[in-house]
Amino acid sequence: MCGIVGIIGREQVAPLLVDALKRLEYRGYDSAGVATLNKGVLDRRRAEGKLVNLDNLLKEQPLSGTIGIGHTRWATHGAPTVRNAHPHTTPRLAVIHNGIIENFAELRSMLEKDGYVFETETDTETVAHLVTRALDRGLSPVEAVRQSLPELRGAFAIAIMFKGEEDLLIAARNGPPLAVGYGDGEMYLGSDAIALAPFTDTLSYLEDGDWAVLTRNSVAIYDESGMAVKRRIEKSAGTAFLVSKGNRRHFMEKEIHEQPEVISHTLANYLDFSKGTIRTDAVPVDFAKIDRIAASACGTAYYAGLIGKYWFEQIARLPVDIDVASEFRYREMPLSKDSLALFVSQSGETADTLASLRYCKQQGLKIGSVVNVKESTMARESDSIFPTLAGPEVGVASTKAFTCQLATLASLAVTAGKMRGTISADDERRLVHELSEIPRYATQALKLEQQMEAISRDLSQVKHALYLGRGTSFPLALEGALKLKEISYIHAEGYAAGELKHGPIALIDEHMPVIVIAPYDRWFEKTVSNMQEVAARGGKIILITDSRGAAASTLKTMHTVILPDMPEIITPIIYALPIQMLAYYTAVFMGTDVDQPRNLAKSVTVE
Ligand code: M6R
């Protein structure tokens, strides 16, 4: 989604703004722009497409000034054109915005009646004219913003710079995240800590309803009612993160290869490897007092939650209801106060998941979140955080965050089993040992890379693909299909293998590749029957299994991928790796933008 940066500094800010925007590229965008103020002149440059276009434009037509704002836009209202790109300006100010102004049509017609002329189709331009109208009525910039904010409905993070005010930036947040960065005689605004990492590691996160007035030497924050408030000043770990692909072609490739390491960091947070026990001190929830989990999440995080459901129910005998957050938040499900509301999110900012969290909070439930970004809104609004230690994930297609979510959920399920007395001390030791082996198996799985690349060459020739699995391999089939479609644009669907005969089998012919995820587990034989149904209709099978599975299946496959034999609990985590590599290399063969696929955003902060 859109990225915001603002700097009141001492140096020329235009290159710094572009640098900060590059660090926000991972969020997804389709146009970008910057504006600066210099000796009374407010000027801007905007470009469609990638930041390199804005960079080139700035080389041809540089912008001067030590105060400025910058923006990457992910189009919601109006096409991704230069005209609709931010910053939006009036003769008196420039504004950037992330989110949606829901009452923009109403505001626009009111402002047009007052004589304000709109140049774009964006909702953001209403903010520019609304505040300008207040200035035209004689209010100071601070008063103009104070009086305009209550008129805006929706989710927004905004930053405004005013002509004639070279030591003033005003920001507001109601929904999408916005951080204030503190420097020495310099102040910053950013959508996240990563954007500001080269400038400062000292940040305050605005809360919903907050607005902030920044000068080079001061920051004042006010809440919705206009009361001055203090927000915690934190040291961010974001500075440790350098946006670099290392020696890899894409962030996604790098992130796939980081998995053995980051999964082991994540597991170490929950498991005591030396004692062979779980670390109950890492889990601030008494699962023995919980009768149900109400979980929700979006996209890949939802599929991680679906796999978690199998583990919680089997290991801890704890029922889990799981929904996609965009449905959960509106379906008014009856919730028991003895339930734990559990949210899974890499970013911790996904609008639908956050809204579901807040809904559950209103209902009086205890809130737990599996999140990767510790400073995120979800992390801050949860009673308990179950961190994933995947590190910053830049590729839009989630890989390492997914497997770290799984590692966390598996560890939590074992913890819950221990607390609820559904597993013995021996079971605990065995399960902890099995989980501790994930990094080793993941390293072995990565050795399949060349084979996955070769299979991807074939897959890149097709228009459609099906993924099948049973048990925990079913949500993995859904994830495999999502991964393929989001980065290669090949149409793919995932199904529970047993559902094949209830409809999707009609799609099978000699042009349809079917990726079957089938470790030799308790579901294997049933899955083989479904594979037989595919083979009988000429479908091309790509079987992902282990040596026992390969030996047990006599069916002709187009490709068979053989993973090591491994304990059942870890199969969805390890089998995720060839699935990710398959999507990755297919996209590489297709020549798509792997890290920033079209139309997608890393952090989806609108409904
Ligand atoms: O940040 P979140 O985990 O809440 O994001 C949820 C989804 O938007 C995300 O997983 C999305 O589906 C990814 N593009 C999948 O690769």
Domain count, the chain: 3
Segment holding 516, helix H or strand E: strand 513-517
Can the peptide bond before residue 150 be classed as cis, meaning omega within 30 degrees of 0?
no
Which of 240, 261, 295 delimits the end of a domain? Answer: 240
**How far are the Cα atoms of 149, 193, 381 from residue 229, in angstroms, in the given order?**
17, 21, 18
Alpha helix positions (H), 296-399? 299-316, 325-328, 351-362, 377-381
Q: Identify each DSSP E strand in 332-439 by its residue range.
A: 339-345, 366-371, 384-387
Q: What is the mean pLDDT of the chain?
A: 93
d(Cα 481, Cα 519) in Å, to the nearest integer?
18
CB of 350 closer than 6 angstroms to any ligand 1 atom: yes
| Residue in 469, 455, 481, 467 with CA at minimum distance from that of residue 558 | 455
pLDDT in tens, 231-269: 999 887 654 444 567 668 999 999 999 998 889 889 989
| pTM attached to this predicted model | 0.77
> 272 with 367, same domain?
yes
Task: Calculate the CA dihedral of residues 498, 504, 509, 512 and round it to 10 degrees.
Answer: -90
- Residue at 201 is within a domain: yes
d(Cα 429, Cα 423) in Å, to the nearest integer?
10
> 96 with 162, same domain?
yes
CATH number at residue 287: 3.40.50.10490
Which of 381, 404, 436 delimits the end of a domain? Answer: 436
For 558, the domain range is 446-595
Distance 209 CA to ligand 1 centre (A): 26
pLDDT at 243: 58
> 402 with 451, same domain?
no
> 360 with 265, same domain?
yes
CATH number at residue 60: 3.60.20.10
- Residue at 154 is within a domain: yes
> 492 with 528, same domain?
yes
> 525 with 563, same domain?
yes
> 356 with 264, same domain?
yes
- Residue at 202 is within a domain: yes
Q: Using CA positions, which residue lies closest to atom 9 of ligand 1?
A: 299
β pairing state of 292-297 and 339-345: parallel
> 425 with 487, same domain?
no
d(Cα 74, Cα 80) in Å, to the nearest integer?
8
Which of 195, 215, 240 delimits the end of a domain? Answer: 240
Q: Using CA positions, which residue lies closest to atom 11 of ligand 1?
A: 299
User: Which residues are marked as active site?
Assistant: 2, 602
- Residue at 606 is within a domain: no
The tokens of 222 are what? 């006010």
Distance 446 CA to ligand 1 centre (A): 23
Is there a contact between 326 and 298 (Cβ–Cβ < 8 Å)? yes
Segment holding 16, helix H or strand E: helix 14-24
d(Cα 347, Cα 350) in Å, to the nearest integer?
7
Is there a contact between 62 and 14 (Cβ–Cβ < 8 Å)? yes
Residue with tokens 């996904």: 350
Distance 298 CA to ligand 1 centre (A): 6
3-state secondary structure of 563: strand
| Residue in 574, 598, 538 with CA at minimum distance from that of residue 259 | 574
> 221 with 164, same domain?
yes
Q: Using CA positions, which residue lies closest to atom 10 of ligand 1?
A: 300
Dmax (CA) for the chain in angstroms is 82
pLDDT at 124: 92
pLDDT in tens, 141-161: 999 999 999 999 877 899 999
> Cα dihedral sign for 519, 521, 526, 532?
positive
Residue 64 CA from chain centroid, whole number: 34
CB of 377 closer than 6 angstroms to any ligand 1 atom: no
- Residue at 206 is within a domain: yes
- Residue at 502 is within a domain: yes
pLDDT in tens, 159-184: 999 999 999 999 999 877 899 999 99
> 477 with 429, same domain?
no
> 337 with 261, same domain?
yes
d(Cα 170, Cα 223) in Å, to the nearest integer?
13
Instruction: Choose which residue among 326, 350, 593 to substitute to test ligand 1 binding: the one with the highest number of ligand atoms within 8 A of its C-beta.
Output: 350
Q: Which residues of the chain have pLDDT under 50?
A: 239-242
Is there a contact between 472 and 571 (Cβ–Cβ < 8 Å)? yes
- Residue at 441 is within a domain: no
CB of 177 closer than 6 angstroms to any ligand 1 atom: no
> 36 with 126, same domain?
yes
Distance 98 CA to ligand 1 centre (A): 18
CB of 481 closer than 6 angstroms to any ligand 1 atom: no
Q: Identify each DSSP E strand in 352-490 by its residue range.
A: 366-371, 384-387, 464-469
